[in-house]
Amino acid sequence: MNQLQKILESKRLYYILFGILILLSLRNLFLPLQGDELTYNKIAQNVLEGKYYQTKNPSSVIPIVPFLMAFFSTPKIPLLGFALHKLFHIGLCFLGIRFAFLTFKKLNLEPTITYTLLLLTCVSSGFLSFLPSLYPEAIVFVTFWGFIYYLNSKKNLSNFKRLFALFILLVFTRYVYAILGLMVLLYYYSYFQQDRKNFGKIILYSIIITTPLLFWFKYVYNIESQNLSEISYFSRYKMDENPLWYNIKCGLGLEQHYQVNRVNGIPAFISLFIPVTGIRNFAISLVLLLAVFFGLYKNWKNPITKQLSIAFGLVFLGFVLAGTGFSRYWLVLLPIIYLSFYYIYTLFIKNGNYFIYASNLFFIVLLLNEFRITLLLIKKII
């Protein structure tokens, strides 16, 4: 047992495991575009011709991924451009893991616990499939955790500029994260109390950094108000009867949204932990979700945990209001989720070794599943 504990405390072991996960993520380089990736690619091709269209009309699809896809485009060898773009997303993903690691380091957790939580994050169902893909998940992950890291860093002008730029980029990547603006307002209030002399500067920088987003919102408003968009995130709010209430019910998982092919919201939460495609269960998911809130609540006095709790609650609220709430949307919150489970564990058992043993066993099961998926994809490609 002592020998096993010594192995599990070795940093080299965790570096090797993270290296294996990076290698497994490379399987995405050889996959054809699918789903929303095809939509982004159509827009990207039109961006290169000076039009933000999907086919014949302006689009209000969030701009970051199409612009990046246009940047990495290699017309003579399209697959090379897609592969380079996916490699970029893989890099962003692990930069996001780095931000999460630095944030957890501020919690004074044992390094082994932090490594374990982040390994569980990386091997959770869907993480290695969606984060390196050309969906927005990798960009959301790095900007969210960068935002959280600087939110909990020393309050000065330099850190604020990074914080606010990441927030704006986050909103440019997925509209729902605009709800984190409430945390920015709390940051303003805290900064004003600490350093009134330079408060005017952060307001000025806020206006400057927000300018591109304001122009984008004006563009989206014009497109949506005239119903010109071929594909819209806002059509769900243009229904005749109680569109907000309809989206809330779908966001909670009480109904299936007409724009998706299965029930999402709360029932999709369980799919993060069980490697079964499309699994949904409202009761078990609700218990797990309540456990997350309970674990965070029990450590509310810690200022960083408090920030994580507020961020988790706001993003969860955003998912509900958005209505669709795909299971992949939850991926960005995985480090917080596993941290809360660890907090619950510490309420009953003080020895962290048992948590590490159980987590590593769970990790091995999920890792073997990722090997299985990789082999299936290789056979399909060959």
3-state secondary structure 170-238: HHHHCHHHHHHHHHHHHHHHHHHHHCHHHHHHHHHHHHHHHHHHHHHHHHHHHHHHCCCCCCCCCHHHC
Alpha helix segments (H runs only) across 48-156: 64-71, 78-105, 111-123, 127-130, 137-151
Give me the pLDDT at residue 287, please: 94
Give me the pLDDT at residue 323, please: 75
For residue 162, give the nearest of 220, 218, 215, 102 by alpha carbon. 102
Residue 58, SS3?
A: strand
Residue 168, SS3?
A: helix
- Give every residue of the chain whose pLDDT is below 70, as ranges: 1-10, 228, 230-241, 277, 325, 382
**pTM, entire model:** 0.92
Which residues contact residue 346 at a Cβ distance below 8 angstroms, ignoring those fewer than 6 apart?
352
Give me the pLDDT at residue 204, please: 92
- CA end-to-end distance (rounded Å), the chain: 43
Give me the pLDDT at residue 265, please: 83
Give me the pLDDT at residue 93, please: 92
Give me the pLDDT at residue 290, please: 95
Strand partners, 58: 53
Give me the pLDDT at residue 75, please: 85
Residue 359, SS3?
A: helix
Give me the pLDDT at residue 234, please: 64
